[in-house]
Amino acid sequence: MKIRPITILFLLFIIFSSCRKGDQSEFDSISYSGNRNLLIDQFEYDSIAIDGSATSLVGKWALKDDKFLWGDYLYGTLDFYSSSFDFLKRTLGQGNGPDEIPTKKWTDFSIDEDLFILGSSNDYFVLDDGLHFLERDRFDFVSKDVDLQTLQNSPKPHYKGIYEVNYPAVKAVYIDQRNVLLPISSSHPKFNAYQPDYYKEANVLGVLNIESSDIEMLSLGYPPVYQDYNCIPQFSNILFNNYKKNIVLGYEADSLLYIADRKGNILEKFGNDGRNMERNYPEVRDFNNYVEDYEERLNYGYFTYVYYDENAQLLFRGYQKDKPHQDTDGLQIYADNELVGDVDVPVDMEVFGFIAPYFYAQLPVDNNSETLFIARFKLEDLKS
């Protein structure tokens, strides 16, 4: 497959990517349009066990057409399975060979027509449907019109050079064949998540053009709920995915979901809180205790991921419950803006695909038996 020219869509990103306004009017100005009509109140699933002894057990599942793909983050391999979970082939690998990925490890991958692999050091790789390299490059957050001294001493929220990929909660999502959404954050000593103004002014999403290696920032920040806290950096990650021809945004500490267009404009907001989620988060101002504060996430309820299935036209949002309710996670199911299901699911389950009549979700691996697991379930109670 030949590399296509830069799309008109990317040019629109450049035009509309601008500095933050310093307020959150884009979230406030949109009326709430949600509804609640619970049609699904129980959840049953089958667990499919897959031998993982030849893998590192670190990676994720994806669907392409009717094939299941296991992307192994540490070994750099891509394993293919049939729709009945029969092993088909292993491809790629870590190294410098002609069919290998020369990176320390994968941090995520995304599949559209092509395969996008994000490495751990701002490196990325694009392969076509036959797994031939189209691109292999690196990107950086260069502020071309701002000198280093200004970046160090007088950071501004719209200076690209103060941001980096938010690797602790990294996710890569194709929005078209040339552009990939990435979460971004700032650890600048004078502008970071341990300072209240960060939640008013920071940008949270970047667009990587994989042909030019350029990063452009969308003018999207934190919603007003983050002003209810002094600082909660341990719950500052953004959740995002494709939604129809737009982007769905969620935040770990926010009960609402937002739909934004690909220029960064908020179009809709809806959503409901999860069950057993008090979200009385401790405020944190001392970055020296970052690891300890982050581990405290285990005790609190927060939202964990969003996934929209275009074929089923359903939006899924996962969440963790407050302690001591953590023997299960919660899963919300939305049809358009209406909450139609809120059910208990296995801890750390994440929906990733649909082949009628089943939805598929990743389950935690069993390290002792070296086994990978996929959950398979139907939503037969969902009626129009």
Spell out the domain ranges in the chain. Answer: 8-50+138-377
pLDDT at residue 36, as a whole number: 96
> Does residue 346 have a cis peptide bond before it, meaning omega lies within 30 degrees of 0?
no
pLDDT at residue 9, as a whole number: 35
- Residues 6 or more apart whose CB falls under 8 angstroms from that of 135 comprise 3, 124, 125, 126, 210, 211
Strand order in the sheet with 67-72: 59-64, 67-72, 77-81, 87-92
pLDDT at residue 295, as a whole number: 85
pLDDT in tens, the chain (384 residues): 333 433 333 333 333 333 344 446 689 899 999 999 999 988 999 999 999 999 999 999 999 999 999 999 999 999 999 999 999 999 999 998 888 999 999 999 999 999 999 999 999 999 999 999 999 999 999 888 899 999 999 999 999 999 999 999 999 999 999 999 999 999 999 999 999 999 999 999 999 999 999 999 998 999 999 999 989 999 999 999 999 999 999 999 999 999 999 889 999 999 999 999 988 999 898 888 778 888 889 999 999 999 999 999 999 999 999 999 899 999 999 999 999 999 999 999 999 999 999 999 999 999 999 999 999 999 987 654
> Does residue 224 have a cis peptide bond before it, meaning omega lies within 30 degrees of 0?
no
CA distance 197 to 332: 31
Q: Where are the alpha helices (DSSP H) in 237-335?
A: 290-295
Structure token digits, residue 285:
């101002």
The residue behind tokens 């929906």 is: 351
CA distance 308 to 318: 12
CA distance 52 to 70: 10
Torsion of CA 278, 281, 282, 284, to 10 degrees: 180
Among 278, 378, 261, which residue's Cα sits nearest to residue 13?
261
CA distance 213 to 231: 33
Task: Judge residue 184's burial from the number of C-beta atoms within 10 Å of its C-beta, 0-12 exposed, 13-18 middle, 19 or more buried.
Answer: buried
228: enclosing H helix or E strand: none
Flag whether the pTM goes above 0.85.
Answer: yes
Q: Are 61 and 68 in contact (CB under 8 A)?
A: yes
CA distance 269 to 98: 47
DSSP string, 42-65: ----EEEEEE-TTS-S-EEEEEET
pLDDT at residue 382, as a whole number: 66
pLDDT at residue 250, as a whole number: 98
